[in-house]
Structure 1
Amino acid sequence: MSESLKRIAQEGLWSNNIVFSQSIALCPLLAVTGTTTNGLGMGLATVAVLMACNLLISYGRLLIPTEIRIPVFVVLIAMVVTLVDMAMNAWLHELHKVLGLFIPLIVTNCAILGRAEAYASRKPPLYALFDGLMMGMGFALALVLLGAARELVGSGTLFANASLLLGQGFAWLETTVIPDYRGFLLMALPPGGFLMLGFLLAGKKMLDKRLAQRPATAAVIREPLAGNT
């Protein structure tokens, strides 16, 4: 069981990451990551939706007729997104105003329906819930990384207005990395998002290549040692 959970975590956070590996859900990714705070807020909302949808669909997988499973999944996802949207409007109203239409549009995030069809509808609740958590955390990680990179280059800050958008408990996140920085407007615009996403994807490819070479290098080192003995 622990090995299965470890594999789920690795796939969600890295090897099958929604953004860096599957390259889906790019519309909200590029739209809301002008700042790290916005990316974090959208990421947490998506985590909540993925976990709730996976859990509901896993529990109901034996009751939902196969012929109508996709419409049922869409209705369940829409219900969960509506509840999350209303909760954010009630308790995180400033962040809700900033993210705007992109919260209801979580319904159209094909990653959520994809996990429902490919995983939650075939697995028991514990695994489905954990898969939703890891996939959501992987997506949130991509949002935060891209938002941090764009905000740092664009304005020299990190988590700007976190206390205003997320509450006073997040005030400690607000950081001015480069004082008196005049800013780089391109990073706040969609072209800047595309550029920075390209750099992050290239970085992940290079890191994956290095990690893949490690076992081969270790095997080459062990062979002479084994021959000497």
Structure 2
Amino acid sequence: MILQLNNILTSDSRLKTEVLPCNCNTKYISVTGQDGSGKTTLRNNLAKYFADKGNTVILAKSPCDPHTVHMLNHAISQSGYKDWYTEQLLFSFMDGVLSNYMIQLDEKCDYFICQRGPIDQYAHGITRSEKSYTEIYNIQRPERLAKFDAYIHMNCEPKVAWERICKDEGKDRYEYPEYFEKQVPNTKALYDNIVNGNQHELEFLRKSKHYYIDTTKMETDEVMKTAISFINTIL
């Protein structure tokens, strides 16, 4: 069974936990990384793979509230005016909301698979704001947040990323070639800094398992096979 997080919320944003199973050994997976690298496709394919095995899978995307996403896309930092602080507060607020849902969903599903997550503030957020890990960390305060068991870091060459999404009518204001040129190295640097222990601000991510996939020359089936091999090894 596959359930979208937003479909198990009431009109006042309460989780409808009564429709979910109990006593599950919930595993939390984040599919993170570069725009155009195939995150949505992999997340959905993973959900189908695990659901076909009889598991209950909840799918999410961060930020998880459509109204907040609308504000971020249309009300903040527009027309050359950059209000980084308000923007970062909103992202960090939504990281906390997602974390609270994760805590409430513990033992209520077999897999919680999220596209992006708090980790993205240290790649996408760094690229967007041109701020440091420390400046992001001081607003986000990540130690308070629920932890993911595994992160799949996805990346690809900027030109390929743009070719994949350039005709996507749903792309946001950060999805353009010049942005990708900055985002790609920041995505790789984040993975390297986590696994090598280079930045104390990233220590909250060190207990999770991390895997890096460059999808530039990979087909969808190959990406899926690689990701499943990693997940089955560590979970």
Report the TM-score when normalising by structure 2. Answer: 0.28
Which has a greater percent of strand?
Answer: 2
| Greater gyration radius | 1
Which has a greater percent of helix?
Answer: 1
